[in-house]
Amino acid sequence: MAATNIGMMDSAYFVGRGEILAWINSTLHLNLSKVEEAASGAVVCQLMDAVHPGMVPMHKVNFDAKSEYEMIQNYKVLQDVFNKLKITKHIEVNKLVKGRPLDNLEFMQWMKRYCDTVNGGVVNNYNPVERRDACKGGKEANKRAATAPTQASSKSSSAAPKSQASQPARKNDVNSTNGSQKSAKPVSNAGGQAYDEQITELKLFVDSLEKERDFYFAKLRDIEILCQSPEIEHLSIVGAIQKILYATDDSPAVVAEAQAMIAAEQQKQQQLPALSPIAEASEEKLPQQHQESQKRKCISTLEVDMAANSTLSPRQRLSDISDVHYCGSPLTNC
């Protein structure tokens, strides 16, 4: 599916919390007031059942799941459905079961985008109440969804007959009191709802900051591990990076010192004498040339001696030999 893998900057993740709640409640005939109420995984399972009828074994879904173990069982059912449909979306179960608003909101934003890509988001001939009856805790969930919208009206209607029966003589006062109470209740309810919305928005903001903090911390940790590699840890630029990483304050002097380290290393490299490849080659050839010259001298000396011997007469050669005395020989006198 096209929505299986969508980036965090996709428009799907900019859908508001109110729109997500309205979509869930209208599709499944529920009355959720917070996105984290869907953290158990039962709501997500039924949303998949709505767009893929018959794919979800609803008898395994638990709408009454309260512990993390029970919630995880619901997400196992959801993962099996994803596998059957070859959906590669990673489900961060450990975060969702914690009931954190931001994590559940992002997952529901993805779910809405996915459901919108299936048949254009149109759910035909689907009875969510009937399907929920087959789930564990489904009937109780249907009762809560049915009684929640009329709870306030039933309380106000039950209070009126009691006041009329107990004080018939003060009917006008009671009516005026009831009227003032009815006019005051919407104000208090509106104030409480606004307070809840502010709390939720603050939680979402804090979760977003924590997620961003964890993201950049992981990047810095990767850089630190890379700088500790034996192949590059001796480089000056690595030392400069580590100086910035391990700085305990935000002083600009830290960056200036790191830049000075890099500049000093560059200056040192420029001062090193560069050896010419021709000079190196000539130095290597010197020993060989010296040996060749010695050989030439020996050969030339031998040639001269041979030439001199060839020009002498036999008598001259004998005279040369007679000049040689062997001391200690009985034939010669030294």
Ordered DSSP codes for 40-53:
TSHHHHHHHHHHST
Tokens standing for residue 220? 């810095």
Residue-wise pLDDT for 52-88, tens only, equals 999 999 999 999 999 999 999 999 999 999 999 999 9
Q: Which of 192-206, 221-235, 303-317 has the highest mean pLDDT?
A: 221-235
Contacts of 141 (CB under 8 A, 6+ apart): 30, 42, 63, 64, 132, 135
Query: Which residue has better confidence, 254 or 176?
Result: 254
Q: Are 115 and 3 in contact (CB under 8 A)?
A: no
All domains of the chain, ordered by start, with CATH? 11-147 (1.10.418.10), 206-268 (1.20.5)
Per-residue DSSP letter, 64: T
Q: 0.85 cut: is pTM over it?
A: no
Helix axes 171-227, 101-117, angle to 10 degrees: 90
Q: Which residues pair with 136 in a beta bridge?
A: 62
